[in-house]
Amino acid sequence: MEKILRVGILEGDDIGHEIVPAAVAVAKAAAALHQVNIEWVPLPIGRRALDTHGNTLPPETLETLHTLDGWILGPIGHRAYPKQANAINPHPILRKQFNLFANVRPTRSYPDIGCIRDDIDLVIVRENNEGFQPDRNMLMGNSEFRPNDEVTLSMRVITRTGSRLVAKAAFELARQRKKHLTYVHKDTVFKLGCGMFVEECKKLALEYPDVRVDDVIVDTFAMRLIRDPQNFDVVVTTNMFGDILSDEAAGLVGGLGMAPGLCIGNGNIAMAQATHGSAPDIAGKGIANPYSMIESTRMLFEWLGYSHSMPQAISMAKAMSAATTEALANPESRTGDINGRGNMASMVKAILEALR
Ligand code: ATP
Ligand code: MG
């Protein structure tokens, strides 16, 4: 019996209600062409789930996720949620429950869409579950303290295990690409935290003698990302540096609409999640760029194809990539944020046409 992939659809908030259905439509068309059997499982999450299920992450959603091979998660507009216990940001919970410790964020240039260079093709692998994020640390509930009204302490968690896991994911990716890995940190100042991350990267480098390794301080990297991005391939870094640098990288290739991502761990499960937020300013207008979500979804199927040994899912991902590249070349169909005269619907239509 041919394996059936069970894939969740979690729209999220704001433009999530537009770009997630767009990504699913493209994936469905590509799956039909390549005979990939998919059972799509829509699940409530976010603001709408608060209204219908009394919780932004209903327990039944979480339960069903445990039975899936992967899912597509739209952006979450948690900053607009009411301040109440059942209106939480689901992101950190999902990443932790499923141990999705690495966030793979590619950046690549396409012609004429406003990229600063036409030869950018790099991937930032961001640690996903540790670092400075106040609501995310594994070792304590809340890692910001205000001992008195004049002083605030923010703690960052770095662990050997977390550093090693994300670095290993990055080395594996480097091996599949140009065998070049750059680790980015600030161990000159954060001697213990960044120091531990660097120690683990260096130890792993001994296990990957075929991968060329570069060691770059984060401020230098921020500058070099603009001056010579073509000299980087796979980049691994800690949580907050990765968050900032991947937005910077997106800026080099047309902005946040061009910023896809895939959250992965040690198992076969993966979560497609665009790098950007829910963009409430453009929600409901039909002008959001669906690329980030479509490309995140493509990455999910490529990942599932390799991890479940399903060559047809890998072919499906290749077809999605070719069709998207073709659609991006047409200024009439692509969205305004990338020098186009079209909108989301025209871009999706162009991708579907290119697929056929
Ligand atoms: P978060 O804290 O969740 O990352 P943010 O403050 O960084 O959110 P975003 O929602 O990511 O903000 O987006 C910033 C702006 O970028 C949006 O207001 C929107 O104008 C633009 N933007 C984001 N995503 C897209 C997209 N897919 N298409 C077009 N424009 C987008
Ligand atoms: Mg942001």
* Distance in Å, CA 255 to ligand 2 centroid: 11
- pLDDT at position 47 is 97
Flag whether pLDDT at 139 surpasses 80. Answer: no
- pLDDT at position 137 is 44
* Distance in Å, CA 223 to ligand 1 centroid: 23
Asked if 275 and 346 sit in the same domain, the reply is: yes
Q: Is residue 99 part of a domain?
A: no
Q: Is residue 108 part of a domain?
A: no
Asked if 57 and 127 sit in the same domain, the reply is: no
Asked if 206 and 280 sit in the same domain, the reply is: no
User: Does 278 sit in the ligand 1 pocket, CB within 6 Å?
Assistant: yes
Boundary (domain end) residue, out of 188, 219, 252: 252
ipTM above 0.90 for this complex: yes
DSSP-assigned letters across all residues of 100-146:
--EEEEEEE--TTS--S-S--EEEEEEE-SSBT-TTT-SS-S--EEE
214 residue type, one letter = D
Residues of the chain with pLDDT > 90, as a percent, come to 92
Boundary (domain end) residue, out of 220, 252, 284: 252
What digits encode the pLDDT tens for the residues 62-120?
A: 999 999 999 999 999 999 999 998 999 999 899 999 999 999 999 999 999 999 999 99
Q: Is residue 257 part of a domain?
A: no
Asked if 189 and 297 sit in the same domain, the reply is: no
* Distance in Å, CA 278 to ligand 1 centroid: 6
Asked if 153 and 245 sit in the same domain, the reply is: yes
Residues of the chain with pLDDT > 70, as a percent, come to 97
* Distance in Å, CA 3 to ligand 2 centroid: 36
User: Does 295 sit in the ligand 1 pocket, CB within 6 Å?
Assistant: no
What digits encode the pLDDT tens for the residues 205-222?
A: 999 999 999 999 999 999
| 234 to 43, 113, 124, 156, 181: CA distances (angstroms) | 33, 23, 6, 24, 5
Asked if 52 and 128 sit in the same domain, the reply is: no
User: Does 276 sit in the ligand 1 pocket, CB within 6 Å?
Assistant: yes
What digits encode the pLDDT tens for the residues 17-37?
A: 999 999 999 999 999 999 999
Asked if 81 and 133 sit in the same domain, the reply is: no
* Distance in Å, CA 158 to ligand 2 centroid: 22
- Distance (Å, rounded) from C-alpha 264 to C-alpha 95? 9
* Distance in Å, CA 337 to ligand 2 centroid: 16
All residues at 6 or more sequence positions from 309 whose CB lies less than 8 Å from its CB, including other chains: none
CATH number of the domain to which 130 belongs: 3.40.718.10
Q: Is residue 173 part of a domain?
A: yes
Q: Is residue 295 part of a domain?
A: yes
Q: Is residue 97 part of a domain?
A: no
Asked if 191 and 267 sit in the same domain, the reply is: no
Asked if 85 and 131 sit in the same domain, the reply is: no
- pLDDT at position 87 is 94
Domain span at 346:
1-90+262-355
What digits encode the pLDDT tens for the residues 168-177?
A: 999 999 999 9
Which ligand 1 atom is at minimum distance from the Cα of 76? 3
Boundary (domain end) residue, out of 207, 229, 252: 252
Q: Is residue 107 part of a domain?
A: no
Residue to probe by mutation, ligand 1, list 79, 256, 343, most atoms within 8 Å of CB = 256
In the chain, how many domains are there? 2
Q: Is residue 335 part of a domain?
A: yes
DSSP-assigned letters across all residues of 150-184:
TEEEE--B--HHHHHHHHHHHHHHHHHTTSEEEEE
Asked if 135 and 237 sit in the same domain, the reply is: yes
Asked if 185 and 306 sit in the same domain, the reply is: no
Residue nearest to atom 17 of ligand 1 (CA): 279
